[in-house]
Amino acid sequence: MYVNLNGKLVEEKRAAIPITDHGFLYGDAIYETMRTVEGKLWMFDEHIKRLKASAKIVGMKVPYSKKEIREMIEQLLVKNKLKEARVRITLSRGSNKLDFGPAKNPTFLIQPAKIKLPPKELYENGISVITYEIERAIPQIKSASMLPTIMAYQHALKKKAHEALLVDHRGRVTEGSMSNVFFVRKGKVITPKKNILEGTVRNLVIKMAKAKQTTIKKRDLQKLDECFITSTIKGILPVTKINGKNVGNGEVGPITKILMKKL
């Protein structure tokens, strides 16, 4: 597999970054994950917009234009003979003399991979999730400092669940470790409002379902009728168990099914 490192095509095995890179040392990096659908980049503009917004918040500059980035990705898809791909872009601040001050030579990496979608049965039967108390720092950005979400996801795997729903220090459900979360309550679609990444698929679903952004407490989860998570890779994936207990009647809910068809 070829990647694009700082504007150059390199074989993945040979791609190297300095050990002083802030992304490696401090998680001082941002990223985006996008995908292709039938060989075409899906929601490319939205991902670049979010990459630029994340860069602005953390004081970095995306070193290539939107057009250049699109060309680099398309070149990689051809070079690697990939049709259905996930594509990760990582931007790290660069290197300096082991301190937190300004850094030089940002690292810009585009990594494509064959897409691995969740198996069909999970869309038919739903997944189980667990809740995990942890918060992401600056949740509105796609930060590469992922310790909290990695801890949450590994905890989910230990409990034989497919995803972890993050819960903040005030008992509010925020999002998944790598997804956003939605619920259905009395026929209405709701989703957490605060301390989340505004996911590209979340934004689509909010429009499609006229979803209300609101506060959802962990203690109220048993009262909800349906649940699903969203992300670029998963699309809409139904959740039928939370912390070992059925959501509604334990089957994929009717509103979730309608939204899955519409997406």
Catalytic residues: 142
State the Cα–Cα distance between residues 35 and 194, nearest whole angstrom: 26
Q: State which of residues 76, 178, 221, 247 lies at the interface with ligand PDD (CB under 6 A).
A: 178
End-to-end Cα spacing for the chain: 30
| Residue number with the smallest Cβ distance to ligand PDD | 199
CB atoms within 10 A of CB 116: 9
Q: State which of residues 36, 54, 200, 240 lies at the interface with ligand PDD (CB under 6 A).
A: 200
Q: State which of residues 36, 90, 230, 256 lies at the interface with ligand PDD (CB under 6 A).
A: 230
Q: Which residues pair with 4 in a beta bridge?
A: 9, 110
Binding positions for ligand PDD, 49-78, rule CB under 6 A: none
Q: State which of residues 4, 36, 131, 180 lies at the interface with ligand PDD (CB under 6 A).
A: 180
- Whichever of 50 and 95 has its CB closer to ligand PDD, that residue is 50
Q: Roughly what angle, to the nearest 10 degrees, separates helices 66-79 and 44-58?
A: 120
Tell me the closest approach of the beta carbon of residue 232 to ligand PDD, in angstroms. 3
**By CB under 6 A, residue 92 contacts ligand PDD:** no
**By CB under 6 A, residue 235 contacts ligand PDD:** no
- Whichever of 172 and 202 has its CB closer to ligand PDD, that residue is 202
Tell me the closest approach of the beta carbon of residue 205 to ligand PDD, in angstroms. 9
The DSSP result for 27-84, as a single string, is --EEEEEEEEETTEEESHHHHHHHHHHHHHHHT---SS-HHHHHHHHHHHHHHTT-SS
Q: Which two tokens stand for residue 184?
A: 């259905």
Binding positions for ligand PDD, 141-160, rule CB under 6 A: 149
**By CB under 6 A, residue 233 contacts ligand PDD:** yes
**By CB under 6 A, residue 128 contacts ligand PDD:** no
**By CB under 6 A, residue 90 contacts ligand PDD:** no
**By CB under 6 A, residue 202 contacts ligand PDD:** yes
State the Cα–Cα distance between residues 151 and 162, nearest whole angstrom: 13
Dmax (CA) of the chain: 58
